[in-house]
Chain A
């Protein structure tokens, strides 16, 4: 039996992942640190039309794009005269497993079946587990899902327990782990033992599966409103949602649409902390994933992630936990739609963002997700109170991640707090270049870095890098 120690399993990482993905990532590497992102995406070998056909057969996509008149009205009530865009929501909860993750899973599982794998493995505490399990069920493939669920006292995060239940409902074998980044270690072992396909969230296939979401939005808004969406707001965690949606919008001829990422502000809580784990009321779409993945998109279970959100984001904002609960309530009570947690993160930002736009503008919240036991605000807030988190009405600025959840007192208090994307871009560049001397970078590297931070001019990026290296020199 192979050595199962942490170090030994991670040392076998490259061969395990290669066998479980069948993508030769090395073929795309260029220069000192660059790789051919578009060539990697093209290697999926599927056009948008192919993906649409795969998804139609897999009961995925073509979800309703709904106008939200009451929330639009709330936005306008607090806006200067003439301001307040029409707010639409794409009801992704209508997908088979209740979230947009079905789009990703449909293409990944199609690929597994096409290549003759008997089963699939996914390491995820999110909606993606149920998405993969549901897709595997339709194709008669085995499915193993590994989740991070419990703290060391055996307290399970209610939302993740629900997601595990859903995986089992679709026939998956579910491994529920305690807190820690070793979920990846357990996934490697499962792949090695079974020889199954790695249904990673971050392959070109998985991301291609989200492009239809952006395309459906772009095409339908053009047709119904005679203009491209002015803004599309996306809940952001690992960056696949932003990446695929933006690529799909471009393919629909909506390249000028502002793509705005939104995350719940959980700054101050450590994601790998056994103590902090259950002190957060959101299990995805929060800064604990979004910020590290913006700075280093490749910190995933594949050698090069196909999710590269910094390439596509025009803006990024944060909202608080209390604000998301508030709009979740508003969506149910005013629009008659009871929908789940992470999908409403971008909805919380939509109201203040709509106030910035003219009345004839169109703003799209690009997803909803299903709700249920464990996922519902009452489930999360009950759990938070049991752990001693204070829940009260108050201004969003009174939220303290892990300690206070302040539920706004009026819609006027909702706000989208701007993240300085240039600071994130500089952070990305600093990490990507590391301690390499600048003269080791060729044109191919600089062009790559410029594309990575959103298509800035190469000269701007080179200027930032030089300034950073001068500052580092001065510090040394």
Chain B
């Protein structure tokens, strides 16, 4: 981001994520369950902003392939949101149990 706060908008050249509605709720494939049919088919795609824009406004980007896409600006410099999550105690136990089993050469509860 060059100057502007990424939460509120971005400048031409910023890497940004757009939101698009590809099909409205009434325009989707036939025979979908109600909870899917009642929602639009949405898409997100990223690229370099062609111009200054505010979040929620119509904006255009050039994707990494140089293709032009228009949508509404969702976020500038979108972070990766997948993480390793929290430790899972139920799994932490498993390793020690298995090591003990192998060492003892028996298999309780089998």
A interface residue numbers (CB < 8 A to B): 5-6, 70, 73-74, 77-78, 119, 142-144, 149-150, 152, 156, 158-159, 161-162, 165, 168, 171-182, 185-186, 194, 270, 272-275, 325-326, 329-330, 332-334, 373-374, 376-383, 391-393, 407, 409-413
Give the complex CA separation of A270 and B23 in angstroms: 21
Q: Please, which residue of chain A has its CB at the minimum distance from the CB of B67?
A: A173
| Min C-beta distance of A387 to chain B, whole Å | 12
Give the complex CA separation of A329 and B40 in angstroms: 39
Q: Please, which residue of chain B has its CB at the minimum distance from the CB of A176?
A: B44
Give the complex CA separation of A142 and B35 in angstroms: 35
Contact at A173–B45, with CB atoms within 8 Å? Answer: yes
Give the complex CA separation of A178 and B39 in angstroms: 9
Contact at B39–A330, with CB atoms within 8 Å? Answer: no
Contact at A272–B102, with CB atoms within 8 Å? Answer: no
Set of chain A residues within 8 Å of B29, measured between Cβ atoms: 6, 180-182, 185
Apart from the given pairs A152-B39, A174-B46, A410-B101, 15 other A-B contacts in the complex at a CB distance below 8 Å: A77-B101, A77-B105, A77-B106, A171-B64, A177-B41, A180-B41, A182-B22, A186-B43, A270-B33, A329-B91, A329-B95, A330-B95, A333-B94, A393-B90, A413-B109
How many residues of B are in contact with the other chain, CB < 8 A? 47
B1-41: contact bitstring with A at CB < 8 Å (1 yes, 0 no)? 00000000000000000000011000111001101100111
Set of chain B residues within 8 Å of A119, measured between Cβ atoms: 65
Set of chain A residues within 8 Å of B83, measured between Cβ atoms: 158, 373-374, 379, 382
| Min C-beta distance of B97 to chain A, whole Å | 7
Q: Please, which residue of chain A has its CB at the minimum distance from the CB of B97?
A: A410
Contact at B102–A73, with CB atoms within 8 Å? Answer: yes
Ordered nearest first, which 3 A-B pairs have the shortest CB separation? Answer: A412-B110, A382-B85, A374-B82
Give the complex CA separation of A379 and B105 in angstroms: 32
Known A409-B109, A412-B107; contact A382-B102, beta-carbon cutoff 8 A? no
Q: Please, which residue of chain B has its CB at the minimum distance from the CB of A375?
A: B82
Set of chain A residues within 8 Å of B65, measured between Cβ atoms: 119, 142-144, 173
| Min C-beta distance of B11 to chain A, whole Å | 21
Give the complex CA separation of A391 and B87 in angstroms: 13
| Min C-beta distance of B71 to chain A, whole Å | 11
Q: Please, which residue of chain A has its CB at the minimum distance from the CB of B107?
A: A77
Q: List 30 A-B contacts (CB under 8 A).
A: A74-B98, A74-B101, A77-B101, A77-B102, A77-B106, A156-B81, A161-B80, A161-B82, A171-B64, A178-B40, A180-B32, A185-B41, A186-B43, A274-B36, A274-B39, A275-B33, A333-B94, A373-B84, A377-B91, A378-B84, A378-B86, A378-B88, A378-B91, A379-B84, A407-B94, A409-B109, A410-B108, A410-B110, A412-B107, A413-B109
A78 touches which of B28, B63, B87, B107 (Cβ 8 Å): B107
Contact at B41–A176, with CB atoms within 8 Å? Answer: no
Q: Please, which residue of chain B has its CB at the minimum distance from the CB of A181?
A: B29
Known A5-B27, A150-B44, A174-B45; contact A273-B33, beta-carbon cutoff 8 A? yes
